Amino acid sequence: MPVGSRVDEVRESAQAGRLVLFEESARDGAQAKTLMSAGFRVRLAREQGAVFGADGPRHVVFAAGFPSVCAQEFEATRQVALEAQDSVSPAAICRGTAADVRLAISAVRGAAHARVMVIVAASEATARALVHRSAREALAQGLEVVKEAVDLAAGVAAVDVCLVDAPRADPALVAEYAGAMTAQGAGTIVLADTVGDLLPGQARELFTRVARGAGSDTVLVSHLHNDLGLGLANTLAALESGVRVAACSWLGLAERSGMVATEQLLFLLAHDPAKAARILGPDCRPWWTAPDLTRLPGIARLVSAETGLPLTVTTPIVGSGVGAISTGTPFTHPRTFQPYDPERQLGVAPTVVLTHLASGRVLRAVAERLGHELDQAQTRTALAWVKDRAYRLGRAVVPDADFAAYLDGLTAVPLTAVTPAAGRERADARS
């Protein structure tokens, strides 16, 4: 149902079976003790929308900020709404009070595809903590705020509602008010696993029960944290139950241990149609425009640089270990030892890294990249040097610069001039 004269393209997409990402790295990511500048939020929104081309606003809701935090946060949210409105559906987040709602609406009003999301306590514990009322009273108050927000939101595409701590709430009560809020004009209803302790089976049951009780017109959104390391698994369980809008965050940035990482969720759902079909159903058509997955590593690097969160060798999809090879068999048969082709699907060219596990083939490949062609004797000598250096320094990877300097000396003198210690270690070398 549109608010005012605007069409809610997110509802339309979800009801058509398309997937929508509710991006939280600028907003919930602040709970991870990070702060994205206004200019960077605009850039990130544009980059993320570009993953889907002209259909960015139909596939990405970008939570730009929480305007009531301070004037600077209001201005950052406003800047995203105005400068990234053609790339994503920009959203302002607010508490369930009339004053907060008005401020959030003013932060995004006039921008194409603009949304506001109202936070409402759903469980007894959070209702008592946030508004000092029972869960039913808090939800009833939230319903009144939603009515007012919809009436005020001329020039805004939709008013969304986030039901806080939904898993620990009465599912029948959550379903009742999710349906009532939708009937009053809410665009989507977010079920937030606020404390991140769901198991996948519980997540599936929660979304199934609430969807059944709320009615077919209600569009549910998953917002699932990663405190037990299950954010991605729980999100997939929600999608299996029929949810088509999923909150996520670049590099998993969010409160405490974070939430499902945007790059992981998007890649998993887009790189292999057979995998997507297992999650979404055999007749799934998840994209208006198929995402350009080669953009993911670059965006992740931008977010890492802005927030200071490092990309490590074990970071899935966008980490430094993707496409890196250091041992012999994966070097000669890379597809046998990888679940996907990083170069074809992510644009990440394979790299050979020199470590203490290197074989002669791996070492010669690195040497050739550095401009040196080694014979068998030189390979054995260099391999012994690499292994000795790695163990002596306690670091697996031998940097290219160090190896290049060693090779300059090795290839510049006759083999007989090399230290005799190398000969004693030839038995350990593998050609």
**335: in domain:** yes
Closest CA to 206 of 247, 244, 165, 150: 165
Q: In this structure, are 164 and 200 located in the same domain? A: yes
Note the pLDDT of residue 318.
96
* Dist CA 149 CA 393 (whole Å): 62
Domain range spanning residue 261? 9-307
In a domain, 301, yes or no: yes
Note whether 30 and 57 are within 8 A (CB). no
Same domain, 349 and 420: yes
Q: What is the spatial distance between Cα 379 and Cα 386, in angstroms, rounded to a whole number?
A: 10
Residues 247 and 390 in one domain: no
Identify the pLDDT of residue 350: 87
Measured CA to CA, the distance from residue 22 to residue 240 in angstroms comes to 17
Q: For residue 203, list its beta bridge partners.
A: none
Positive/negative CA dihedral, 112, 74, 190, 193? positive
Asked if 377 and 344 sit in the same domain, the reply is yes
Strands 186-193 and 220-224 come out as: parallel
Separation between Cα atoms, residue 250 and residue 387, nearest integer Å:
37
Nearest to 46 by CA among 246, 344, 263, 302: 302
Low-confidence ranges of the chain (pLDDT < 50): 1-2, 415-431
CATH number of the domain where residue 270 is located: 3.20.20.70
Of 278, 307, 336, the residue that ends a domain is 307
SS3 407: helix
Phi-psi category of 371—alpha, beta or left, where left has phi over 0 and alpha has psi -120 to 50?
left
Supply φ then ψ for residue 418, to 5 degrees. -75, 150
End-to-end alpha carbon distance in the chain = 68
Residue 18 CA to residue 11 CA, distance in Å, equals 10
Asked if 369 and 285 sit in the same domain, the reply is no
Looking at the fold, whether 213 and 270 belong to one and the same domain comes out as: yes
Answer whether residue 66 is part of any domain: yes
Task: Calculate ∠ Cα 227-228-232, nearest 5°.
Answer: 90
Q: What average pLDDT does the structure give for the chain?
A: 92
Same domain, 109 and 181: yes
374 within 8 A of 418, measured Cβ to Cβ: no
| Closest-CA residue to 362 (of 408, 425, 429, 298) | 429
Q: Which residues pair with 116 in a beta bridge?
A: 92, 159
Q: How far is CA 40 from the centre of its chain?
A: 17
In a shared domain, residues 37 and 166: yes
162 neighbors 117 (Cβ within 8 angstroms): yes
Q: For the whole model, what pTM was predicted?
A: 0.90
Q: 315 in a domain, yes or no? A: no
Nearest-angstrom CA–CA distance, 215 and 152:
25
Q: List, in sequence order, the alpha helices (H) in 131-272.
A: 135-152, 171-183, 200-214, 231-240, 262-270
Q: Are residues 206 and 242 in the same domain?
A: yes
Structural domain count, the chain: 2
pLDDT at 329: 74
Residue 312 lies in a domain: no
| Domain contains 68 | yes
Tokens describing residue 405: 């300097």
117: helix, strand or coil: strand
Main-chain dihedrals φ then ψ at residue 65, nearest 5 degrees = 170, 180
What are the structure tokens assigned to 328, written together? 């012999």
Domain membership of residue 134 (yes or no) is yes
Collapse the DSSP code of 244 into the 3-class scheme (helix H, G, I; strand E, B; otherwise coil) and give the result: coil
Cα–Cα dist 43/413, whole Å: 53
- Same domain, yes or no, for 347 and 234? no
128 and 213 housed in the same domain: yes
Cα–Cα dist 253/158, whole Å: 25
Q: Are residues 270 and 237 in the same domain?
A: yes
The pLDDT score that the predictor gives to residue 120 is 97
In a domain, 264, yes or no: yes
